[in-house]
Amino acid sequence: MSPGRHAVISATLVVALLAPGTTAAQDTNAAPPGEERSRNVPREERSRNVPREERSRDVVPASTAPQDPPASTAPPPPLGNAAAAILIDARDGSVILQKNADQRRSIASTTKLMTALLTLEEAEPGDVFRAATYDALPIESKIDLRTGERMRVEDLLEALLLESANDAAATLAEGVSGSRTAFVEDMNARAAGLGLADTSYANPIGLDDPANYSTARDLASLTRRLLGKRRFARTVDLASAELESGDFPRVVDNRNDLIGAYDFVDGVKTGHTNTAGYVLVGSATGRLGSKVISVVLGEPSEAARDVDTLALLRFGLAQFRRVKALDSDRPAASADVEHRDETAKLVPVRDLLLVTRRGQKVTTRVDAPETVEGELAAGERVGTITVLRDGRLVRRVGLVTAAEVPGAGPLRVIADELGGGALVLLLAFGAGAGTFVLASRARTRRRRDAERAARRRATQSAAAPPETR
């Protein structure tokens, strides 16, 4: 069999996550934030402009974590208050839980997520925009920008995403597209380009308008894209921020109370109007590196909004566990050794630990030759093994020989090429040839011995005295 011939060998590893396990831990010490947006962390203790990874957290690193328990089998939260909701896996966008996820609804200030996306794509953090003329109502969120005031984009984004400042939204819209009308056109074009088929924008702020709507599913998809941008993810994870540009310094607080109260919550955006009710797009990261995104729309109060969001995020993170998808000590395939009656075991070059969700299936696909030719050292790469989660590519890892693969001598190669009985014939021929050579050498030796004896006798006779002849 030619060593160049390859075959794809499929093997399936079903991740059994259906065993009963522990539910998500309940925080009995921290009550859900109430209507007045009171935080469980004193204002003076809130971190400002400090990335979450630099804050002190009581989290076991994945590399040193104990064996993970089975994923939780707790029932999903009832979500009785939310008009619509969704919970997705931020890694691949797959849906974990949903309620009326495709129902078009007013979305209030979560409209500003698209305002943020266009700004991040079209402007630099250090760009300076002049404040737009904006006549805000007393009840609106704002940072009191003065018309013509100069402020950096990075500060305007923090005001937009944390304080939900409407004057910052108007300023960004005019700075990016030249006018608010042009910016709204760009918002809708971008939404269409992203496949957000049930989303429409009428303004960059989120003011109530029949043409300003989206769905829980579209908001989750948009948020997933935004969280892939480091600056955005870092900003929505701040409890507060100092705006250093502008006519005077300002401090803005995050209207998402969950950021200051729960370490595992790391975003994203609140919203409220009379038509939309209370809205919250949330995100959270687990100790295994799992990440989930939640959306609740049409909640009756801030308290209900926060309670349902926490329930969704906790339920989502409780679905994950870490499994050993590849084991470098366990053969994943084998190959025949060319010209030898034995096989070579093939193993992954390294272990692979994979975070999976309850009910997900992990499969492996091996691409390696059916036959290998020695000599090969242990650990020599001969193929690859691909790991898939629910059919989606996760990682490709080299496939190597588990031990040294011996080569074949010339006789074995010739015998293998000639056929099964050739080795016996060759051995018989070799034995016969050897016997012939040995016999021939013995005859030659005897002949030479006889000739030497005759010469010695002739020499002795010639040297004897005449009388003895």
**Measured between alpha carbons, how far is 62 from 288 in angstroms, rounded to an integer?**
6
The active-site residue out of 47, 72, 109, 294 is 109
Catalytic residue among 47, 164, 214, 290: 164
Pairing of strands 362-369, 333-337: unpaired
Q: CB count, 10 Å around CB of 360?
A: 21
SS (H, E, C) 214-228: ECHHHHHHHHHHHHC
| Set 99, 106, 112, 142: catalytic member | 112
Beta carbons of 405 and 352 less than 8 angstroms apart: no
Active site residue 164: yes
C-beta separation of 17 from 320 below 8 A: no
> How many other β-carbons are positioned within 10 Å of the β-carbon of residue 35?
10
In 3D space, the residue among 14, 1, 17 whose CA is nearest the CA of residue 373 turns out to be 1
* Three-state secondary-structure class, residue 417: helix
First-to-final CA distance of the chain: 80
- Known catalytic membership, residue 112: yes
Task: Tell me whether the omega of the peptide bond preceding residue 375 falls within 30 degrees of 0, making it cis.
Answer: yes
- Strand 320-326 versus strand 352-357 pairing type: antiparallel
| Burial class (CB within 10 angstroms; exposed 0-12, middle 13-18, buried 19+) of 127 | middle
- Quick one: 325 exposed, middle or buried, by C-beta within 10 A (0-12, 13-18, 19+)? buried
Judge residue 426's burial from the number of C-beta atoms within 10 Å of its C-beta, 0-12 exposed, 13-18 middle, 19 or more buried. Answer: middle
Active-site residue set: 109, 112, 164
